Structure formats: C-alpha cells, structure tokens
Amino acid sequence: MEPLLARAASRRSLLKTALVIGSVAVVPGCAQQANKVATLHLPPPPPAPIPVARPPVAVAATPSVAPPGIRPALFDRARQALQRHGTAIQKQDRIALADFSRSSSSPRFHLINLHDGTVTSLLVAHGSGSDPSHTGWLQRFSNEVNSEASCEGAFVASDYYVGKHGRSQRLIGLDPTNNNALDRAIVVHGAWYSNEDMLAKHGKLGRSQGCFAVGEHSLATVFDLLGEGRMIYAAKV
C-alpha cells in the first residue's frame, strides 16, 4: 500500500512540475506576442474635415443720418434692427422701410440704398385688421393668426413663389411682434387695390390681409431692389 501511495505522490509531483514548466514556456510566448502587438504601426488618422465657409454678409456702412424724405426716428430704429439681427440678414447693402405712420395714399414703402442714400418710394397697402373702418390709416398691429392685420418689426425677405396673387415673396419675421409672419403667409405681392388709380377713385388704397401689397406695376421694382436676404422694417413711429 505504501509503495502505491509513494508512486502516486511521485506522479503528482511530476505532473505539477510539468505544469509549472509548461506555464513558463507559455508566458514568454504571450509576452513576445504582446510586444509584437504594441509595436504594430497603425495607419495615420484621417485629416480633420475642412469647415464649410458661410457666404459673407454684404455689410454697408449704414449712414447715421436719414436720407431725405425718411423719418429720422424710423430710420434709427431700422438701423438698430439691422445691427441687432446681424447675420440673419445676409445682404445689408439695401433695406426697405414701411412707414405706417403715413396714410395709404402716401408713397410710404421706401427702398433705400445704404451705399449712396438713394431712395425709391412706392405705395403699399396695410391689412384690413389694422384698419377695420377703412380710413386709410393703420390703427393697430397684430401678430395673431387670422387677424388680417399688418405686423411690425424686422423681416428678412426669403424665396419667391407663384400663388393666388401671382409672383410673391415669402417673409420671415425676426421679432416677437412678427414671428408668426411665415405661418400667416405675410408676403410681398402685387395687387390691383394698390395701384395708383385707386387714389383718384377713393383717395386711399384697398386693404390686404396683412401682406405688403404694392401696385401691380411696382412689383418688379420691389423685387429688383429688395431681392432675397435683405431686411424690411415696418413700424408706426
């Protein structure tokens, strides 16, 4: 019995020794493999993407003095709006002012070249909700949907489209007083009730649903001078 136990113990000893030797033989191999992995040459990282440059803003040195025929208070407010809204207005060489302190019988839609101070003034209607009694004078502004009133503040002229009034231009309101303009479909369009012959017949223009409605023959002039990306500022000062 004892010789058998002795042989078993001897065998266990030999197996233990073999395992130790085997583990020693394996470890250096793993270490060498790890070294090989550590010294692999990885490909260089891809170059950083080049940022896409936005189109530059065409900025004009806005004159501090209002051009002839433009109310100084209104012009100052428009200048402040142009500075306040910055890059939202991509083209700042010309602006349009709607002076709603004047009657609809007056050429109160002013397209102003800020480089040389030249002004083109045209007739423009206001909304029926701004003048319920049709006096020819704007009584109030509203930003509410379905109010059919004109709204005040700074707009940026957006894209053109053809709708029920023919070729028209969408406007985006930039102030809390007109930020529903897009939802209300407040646009620039031509209208028969804004033609000059309305003054001879009625002494005033017709009314829009809040849009900047100009005479049918004046629309091309507005689109040429205003274009896309410029500011319209409307107020009663």
Query: Looking at residue 75, what is its pLDDT?
Result: 97
Whether residue 128 sits in one domain with residue 24 = no
Query: Looking at residue 30, what is its pLDDT?
Result: 36
Strands 153-163 and 166-173: antiparallel
What's the domain range around 87?
58-235
Over its length of 237 residues, how does the chain's per-residue pLDDT go in tens digits?
444 334 444 444 443 444 333 443 333 333 333 344 444 455 565 565 554 445 555 555 567 799 999 999 999 999 999 999 989 999 999 999 999 999 999 999 999 999 999 999 999 999 999 999 999 999 999 999 999 999 999 999 999 999 999 999 999 999 999 999 999 999 999 999 999 999 999 999 999 999 999 999 999 999 999 999 999 999 999
Query: Looking at residue 64, what is its pLDDT?
Result: 76
Whether residue 75 sits in one domain with residue 23 = no
153 in a domain, yes or no?
yes
Query: Looking at residue 48, what is its pLDDT?
Result: 53
Q: What is the CATH number of the domain that holds 190?
A: 2.40.440.10
With CA atoms as reference, report the closest residue to 154 among 81, 60, 94: 81
For the chain, state the CA radius of gyration: 38
Residues 6+ apart with CB under 8 A from 182: 170, 171, 172, 173
Query: Looking at residue 61, what is its pLDDT?
Result: 56
How far from each other are the two terminal CA atoms of the chain, in whole angstroms?
120
Query: Looking at residue 47, what is its pLDDT?
Result: 60
Query: Looking at residue 17, what is its pLDDT?
Result: 43
pTM: 0.75
Whether residue 38 sits in one domain with residue 125 = no
Whether residue 67 sits in one domain with residue 31 = no
Whether residue 170 sits in one domain with residue 209 = yes
Compute the distance between CA of residue 61 and CA of residue 234 in angstroms, rounded to an integer: 21
How many domains does the chain contain in total?
Answer: 2
**86: helix, coil or strand?**
helix
Whether residue 80 sits in one domain with residue 35 = no
